[in-house]
Structure 1
Amino acid sequence: MDALTALATDPAAWAALLTLIVMEVVLGIDNLIFISILTNKLPEAMRPKARAIGLSGALLMRIALLFTLSHLAGMKDVVVTLFGHGFSWRDMILLGGGLFLVYKATSEINHSTEHKDEEGDKKPQVKIGFAAAIAQILLLDLVFSIDSILTAVGMTDHLPIMIVSVLVAVFLMFVASGPISSFINRHPSIVMLALGFLLMIGMVLIAEGFGAHIEKGYIYAAMAFAGFIEALQMFARGRSNKTMGGEH
């Protein structure tokens, strides 16, 4: 209790908490985009439940990892060497998650662009089962959770601060999941942009798995710039539609 009181009255602890919450929210965007795209393939009535289970899984995995920090640190130890390069459990998990993300993003982009069959009819939207959606979400939850917690460990050594930051970040993801999912579903161009983000994130995870560190700030800056350009295009299309409607 004395330790918690000391943390609560320490300005540096509050600064670390706020910084970590922002970082966790930013890192959670990847997770949220993937969940939104995947759950939009389910029947509409199932989507809220699938998002809730997916985000609950993300929260539980993050909390579980926080209470196994000593084992998590050991995940950076080399366990296998291939072609002169050592790989840890963390590297292999990031590689597997990156490859899976690249595969999912590529297959979704392929379906979105090759949207007509040989007779020229529009292909029906690909649907997936509820269990399959949850399994894929939980698989990527694990990858994103490890990345998230390792970032948290690198910023502070106070477990209560890390737990609070994770709880706040996942709560904000819960709040934002419905509107983001609906927005992505209503705008096909946003779907393609989001898939491009996931493809880029997958490549970053693969690079990290091979030991090539890529500063996340550059990745999110590129994502923000692409999002800004898309917002301008949506605004321009909206004005154009209004102008055409006025002419009629």
Structure 2
Amino acid sequence: MDNILALMNDPAAWVALATLVVMEVVLGIDNLIFISILTNKLPEHQRERARRIGIGLALIMRLALLATVAWIVQLTEPVFTVMGNEFSWKDIILIAGGLFLVWKATKEIHHHVDPDDHEDTMVGAATTTFAGTIAQILVLDLVFSIDSIITAVGMTPHVEIMVVAVVAAVTVMLVAATPLANFIEKNPTIVMLALSFLLLIGTTLIAEGFGVHVPKGYIYAAMAFSALVEALNMWARNSRQRKKGQE
């Protein structure tokens, strides 16, 4: 209790908290896009429930990982070397998560380009179930959680600040999940843009796993520019439709 009161009276702690909240929210955007695309494939009456359960379980997972933060930090220690390159468990998790994202995004793009050829395998059918969707949400959240926690440890040594930041970010995700999913569903072009974002994020995770650091600012700047271009396209399209309606 005394430690918490001391943190509340420390301006540096508030700065660290604000920075961590922003970082968690920004990292959560990637996760939210993935959740939206996955849950939109479920029957309409299951979608919101799947989002809430997936995000709720993700919160529990992140809090559990924070409780083992000392073990998480050790994941950066090299475990084997290949051709002079050292790989840690964190690198392995990032590479596996990146490959999963690239595979999933490519599969979804194929489905949207050729909708008549997406139920030809047992894998395709199994992953569209409610349980399969939740499982995929948790797998990807594990990757993002470990990455964000290791980053957070480098910003503050106080687990209390990390917990508050995680809870705040997940609350934002819960509030934004359904509106974002509905927006993506109503705008087919947004789906392809979101899938391209997932490809970009997956490639970045793979690069990070192989030791090639890609500044996240560049990634999010590119995503923001693409979103701005698409917003202008949507505005122009709506303007043309309004003009046709008035003729």
Classify the TM-score, shorter chain. over 0.9
- 2:209 and 2:12 map into 1 onto residues whose CA distance is 33
Q: 97-106 vs 144-153, which deviates more?
A: 144-153
Q: Residue 58 of structure 1: CA displacement?
A: 1.6
- 2:10 and 2:116 map into 1 onto residues whose CA distance is 60
Q: Residue 84 of structure 1: CA displacement?
A: 2.5
Per the alignment, residue 162 of structure 1 pairs with 162
Q: Deviations over 1:183-232 (max 9, x none)?
A: 00110000000000000000000001101111111101111111111111
Per the alignment, residue 32 of structure 1 pairs with 32
Per the alignment, residue 208 of structure 1 pairs with 208
- 1:82 and 1:129 map into 2 onto residues whose CA distance is 38
AA matched with 2:208? E
Per the alignment, residue 63 of structure 1 pairs with 63
The residue correspondences of 1:30-109 to structure 2 (distance < 5 A) are: 30-109=30-109
Q: Residue 57 of structure 1: CA displacement?
A: 2.1
Distance 1:95 1:187, change over 3 A: same
Q: Deviations over 1:47-93 (max 9, x none)?
A: 11110111112211211111111111110111122233221111000
Aligned-pair identity (%):
61
- 2:73 and 2:150 map into 1 onto residues whose CA distance is 9
Q: Could you say what secondary structure the match of 1:157 adopts?
A: coil
AA matched with 1:21? V
Q: Deviations over 1:92-118 (max 9, x none)?
A: 00010000000000111111122457x
Per the alignment, residue 196 of structure 1 pairs with 196
Q: Deviations over 1:140-189 (max 9, x none)?
A: 01001111211211211111111000000000100000100100011000
Per the alignment, residue 121 of structure 1 pairs with none
TM-score (norm 2): 0.94
CA contact (8 A) 1:54 1:141 kept: no
Per the alignment, residue 111 of structure 1 pairs with 111
- 1:74 and 1:9 map into 2 onto residues whose CA distance is 31
CA contact (8 A) 1:36 1:180 kept: yes
- 1:44 and 1:76 map into 2 onto residues whose CA distance is 41
Return structure 1 stretches of 4+ with deviation > 4 angstroms. none
Q: Could you say what secondary structure the match of 1:240 adopts?
A: helix
Q: Could you say what secondary structure the match of 2:128 adopts?
A: coil
AA matched with 1:153? V
AA matched with 1:4? I
- 2:64 and 2:101 map into 1 onto residues whose CA distance is 23
- 2:90 and 2:73 map into 1 onto residues whose CA distance is 9
Per the alignment, residue 176 of structure 1 pairs with 176
Per the alignment, residue 139 of structure 1 pairs with 139
AA matched with 1:61? M
Q: Could you say what secondary structure the match of 1:244 adopts?
A: helix
- 2:11 and 2:91 map into 1 onto residues whose CA distance is 36
TM-score (norm 1): 0.93
Per the alignment, residue 243 of structure 2 pairs with 243
Q: Residue 21 of structure 1: CA displacement?
A: 0.5
Q: 79-88 vs 154-163, which deviates more?
A: 79-88
Q: Could you say what secondary structure the match of 1:34 adopts?
A: helix
CA contact (8 A) 1:33 1:194 kept: yes
- 2:6 and 2:110 map into 1 onto residues whose CA distance is 54
Q: Could you say what secondary structure the match of 2:76 adopts?
A: coil
